[in-house]
Amino acid sequence: MGTVAPRPASRRLRLVPAPDTEPAAPAPAPAPVNDEELLLAFHRGERGIGLRLYEHLLPVVDRTLYRILGCREQDHADLVQGAFEQIVSTLARRRFAGECSLAGWASVIACHVGLSALRARRRERKVIDRSPGPEVAPEPPARSADPERELRAQRDLEALRRHLAAMDRDRAAALLLHAMGYSLQEIAALTGASVAAAQSRLSRGRRELQARFEPDTTARPDPARPEKLR
């Protein structure tokens, strides 16, 4: 059996350009997405605008839903889809006035979708097991040097979600948007209310939430001050 002739040098693969050739110019960076351009393309019905809109708003929609619900359960993709259906419907009816960013408007819609899901889960809790299945990867738990403190924090978050689900929708939305870092003026623009109305919702929401938390606080034993044995 004869030996195989070596491949000619001219046909060998090169991993780097030859010294006598100039390297290829890098690809230009994509232009930043502009709200006005997206809206114009949407109303014109340009090809691919649905995907561009989805890629632009998915991070804020996903993040808002996760902050409200605290996890990504089996129906998380359905909630994201529901939020985008409302976003597209709002834009199609030209109900987006442009007084805030598209991302901010999307966060408000996702906030309402998340609150509705909280209320639905509260009603379903007694009859439906919503624990994640084996195909749903749970979020990795954060490491803490104080497990008892971490457990109390988890209970407080669960109580917060329970109380928000039972509150007035506008007040709960104002609290959530404020917690996400929006200013009072931005909350007013995002929710279509005056600054005075937004301030009222935020103040009343805080008082209502505090009143709802008081029974939980008084009923919970303080581990730092154990009860004396009788």
> Quick check: is 179 in a domain?
yes
**Which residues, 6+ apart, have CB-to-CB distance to 140 below 8 Å?**
none
Boundaries of domain holding 64 = 33-130
pLDDT digits (tens, 9 = 90+) for 192-221: 889 999 899 999 988 988 888 777 555 555
CA–CA gap between residue 190 and residue 229 (Å, rounded): 54
**In a shared domain, residues 152 and 85:** no
Residue type, 56: H
Question: What does pTM read for this prediction?
Answer: 0.62
- Whole-number pLDDT of residue 181: 84
Cβ partners under 8 Å of residue 130, min gap 6: 73, 74, 121, 124
- Asked if residue 174 belongs to a domain, the reply is yes
Query: Per the domain annotation, does 20 fall within a domain?
Result: no
With respect to residue 139, please indicate whether it lies within any of the assigned structural domains.
no
Domain contains 27: no
48/93 Cα distance (integer angstroms): 20
Residue 5 lies in a domain: no
Q: Which of 71, 101, 130 lies at the terminal end of a domain, its last residue?
A: 130
Q: What is the CATH number of the domain that holds 181?
A: 1.10.10.10
Pair (189, 215) in one structural domain = yes
Residue 228 has pLDDT above 50, yes or no: no
| Residue 48 identity (one-letter amino acid) | G
